[in-house]
């Protein structure tokens, strides 16, 4: 699936002068719509409870190999790993460069990934093993709704993820913006590159102690 395959969704832009006002309106609308959206996300939220772990969420997953060879630059793919939605992105050179721009970093709550939301080998400006490919769990770190990826250069500046439940934004590396309900960056699953275009989810070769149970907020 590419971004062009994705259905349309909210298009607020935090760099736009009207963004703040629209976000307030969007938040109000989000409250009204929350009953339906939260109900829609409940099966997923409920799946995180129960016998999976002491913390109440699934933490063990079968390894999953992802072939990146047919993912064109500038496109992304949505897949499911266990009960988790996962987004895989192939960045353009411009998108990689945008992730280090000071104007973007100033908008982020945790630009250097201090919170342990990723393995050590992904604690870098791209929050990924290599700059070209990003892999993020698409679960909002506010209350667990599913986020949606948008591939626009300027919305926010490096493209990114949006949660429609209460209006949280994450940049193209899954880093949460300031002044939104979510407080943590999107989780990055442990992974290893088996080849330049073959990725295996499940274990970080450089940080084997990091598992899905290590993630602070999901």
- CB 144, min distance to ligand FES, A: 6
Find out whether 61 and 85 touch, Cβ atoms under 8 Å.
no
CB-nearer residue toward ligand FES: 90 or 166: 166
Strands across the sheet containing 168-171: 148-150, 160-163, 168-171
Which residue's entry shows tokens 């987004």? 87
CB-nearer residue toward ligand FES: 177 or 205: 177
Residue 154-193 contact track with ligand FES, rule CB under 6 A, x = bound: ---------x-xxxx------------xx-----------
Can residue 64 be called a binding residue for ligand FES (CB under 6 A)? no
- CB 40, min distance to ligand FES, A: 12
- CB 10, min distance to ligand FES, A: 12
CB-nearer residue toward ligand FES: 9 or 94: 9
Q: How far apart are CA 162 and CA 122, in angstroms?
A: 21
Q: 47 — alpha (psi -120 to 50), left (phi > 0) or beta? A: alpha
Q: How far apart are CA 109 and CA 184, in angstroms?
A: 8
- CB 65, min distance to ligand FES, A: 30
Find out whether 147 and 140 touch, Cβ atoms under 8 Å.
yes
Q: In the 8-state DSSP scheme, what is residue 110?
A: S
Question: Considering only residues 114-153, where is the footprint of ligand FES by CB under 6 A?
Answer: 140, 142-145
- CB 123, min distance to ligand FES, A: 23
Find out whether 135 and 199 touch, Cβ atoms under 8 Å.
yes
CB-nearer residue toward ligand FES: 109 or 203: 109
CB-nearer residue toward ligand FES: 104 or 165: 165
Interface with ligand FES (CB under 6 A), residue total 12
- CB 128, min distance to ligand FES, A: 22
Q: How far apart are CA 185 and CA 102, in angstroms?
A: 18
Could you give the 3-state DSSP secondary structure of residue 170? strand
CB-nearer residue toward ligand FES: 34 or 120: 34
Partners of 66 in beta bridges:
199
Q: Which parts of this chain interact with ligand FES (CB under 6 A)?
A: 140, 142-145, 163, 165-168, 181-182
């Amino acid at each position: 699936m590419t971004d062009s395959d994705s259905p349309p969704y909210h298009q607020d832009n935090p760099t736009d002068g009207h963004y703040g006002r629209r976000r307030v309106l969007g938040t109000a609308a989000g409250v009204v719509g929350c009953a339906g959206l939260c109900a829609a996300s409940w099966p997923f939220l409920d799946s995180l409870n129960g016998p999976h772990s002491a913390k109440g969420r699934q933490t063990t997953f079968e390894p999953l190999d992802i072939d990146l060879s047919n993912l064109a630059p500038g496109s992304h793919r949505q897949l499911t790993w266990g009960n988790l939605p996962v987004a895989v992105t192939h960045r353009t050179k411009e998108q990689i460069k945008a992730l280090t721009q000071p104007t973007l970093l100033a908008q982020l709550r945790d630009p250097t990934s201090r919170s342990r939301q990723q393995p050590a080998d992904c604690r870098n400006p791209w929050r990924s093993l290599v700059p070209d490919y990003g892999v993020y769990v698409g679960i909002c770190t506010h209350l667990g709704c599913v986020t949606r990826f948008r591939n626009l250069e300027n919305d926010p500046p490096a493209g990114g993820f949006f949660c429609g439940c209460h209006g949280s934004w994450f940049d193209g590396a899954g880093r949460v913006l300031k002044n939104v309900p979510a407080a943590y960056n999107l989780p990055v699953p442990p992974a290893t590159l088996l080849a330049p275009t073959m990725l295996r989810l499940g274990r970080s070769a450089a940080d084997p102690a990091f598992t899905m149970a290590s993630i602070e907020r999901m």
